Amino acid sequence: MPRLALPRSLHALVRAVVDFALPPRCPGCGVVVAADHSFCLACWQSLDFLRGPACAVCAAPLELALYDDARCGACLADPPPFDRLRAAVAYGLIARALALKLKYGRRPGIAATMAGPLRRAAGDMLADALVVPVPLHRCRLWWRGYNQSALIARAVTPSGDLALDLLVRRRATAALRGMGPSARARTVAGAFALNPVWAARVRGARVVLVDDVYTTGATVRACARVLRAAGAAEITVLCWARVVRDGDPAR
C-alpha cells in the first residue's frame, strides 16, 4: 500500500509539536539543543577531534609528521594487518558516554550521531568499498538485541555496499575490559572467520572494517587477518573513538 505524503505545512506542524513535546537533546549530557544529533557547546568543545599530525597507519598522534606516510614506532616495530585506521575522536568523557549509550544503553539512534564525524574522518575511503562491521557472537547479539558496529556501519553508508554478515564470530569471548594487550590478543585469536558466501566478493576488494572504539586493536587486528587471508586488497579500520595513551606525544 503506498505511503501518503503529508503536505509540507502539515509536516512542519507535526514536527513542531513533536519538538515541543520531545525536544532534541544533546547526546552527551542530555540538555535541550536546537536539532537532533547536535551537541551542546560544552560537549562539542569536550570532543577531541583527531585532526593533527598522526601515524598514517594507526592514527596515533605525533608531534610532527614530515611526510604523509609517517609511522609511529609501534607500527614500524609491529605493522598491523590493516592498511590504515581512521577515528573521528579521541576516547574521552563525551566520546565514551556516546559509545556506552549505544553499546549498553539501548540508544541505537546514537549511531546516526556518530555518522557525521565518521564520514568526515573517512573522507573518500568509503567510496567503492565493502563496509564490514566487527561481528558479535550470536549469544551476545541475542542478549543485546543489536550489533552496535553494524548500526554504525549502516548509518555511515545508508546506501553503500554493506556486508553485514561477511565476518562471523565463531566462538564467544570474554569481555576485554581490564585486560592488557597480550591477554586481549590471546582472547580473540581465532574467534573470527569469513562467511564463505562472501569469499569471491572479498577477494581483491577494498574493505572498510567498522568498530565503535579502538583500544589496543586486538579485535580489529584479528578481523583484519581474516580479511587479508581471504584476499582483501586494502583494509581500512573506521571507528568512532580511538584511545590515546598518556605517552602519545600530542597529549
Domain ranges of the chain: 1-46, 50-242
Contact 212, 99 (CB under 8 A): yes
d(CA 56, CA 108): 31
Rounded to 5 degrees, what angle do the CA atoms 113, 118, 123 make? 145
Q: What are phi and psi of 36, to 5 degrees?
A: -60, 145
Contact 168, 141 (CB under 8 A): no
Given CATH 3.40.50.2020, say whether it is the number of domain 50-242. Answer: yes
How would you write the pLDDT of the chain (251 residues) with one tens digit per residue?
Answer: 455 555 665 555 554 444 445 789 999 999 999 888 899 999 999 999 998 889 999 999 888 777 778 999 999 999 999 999 999 999 999 999 999 999 998 899 999 999 999 999 999 999 889 999 999 988 888 888 899 999 999 999 976 688 999 999 987 776 777 667 787 777 777 889 999 999 999 999 999 999 999 998 999 999 999 999 999 999 999 999 999 975 444 33
SS3 169: strand
- pTM for this prediction: 0.85
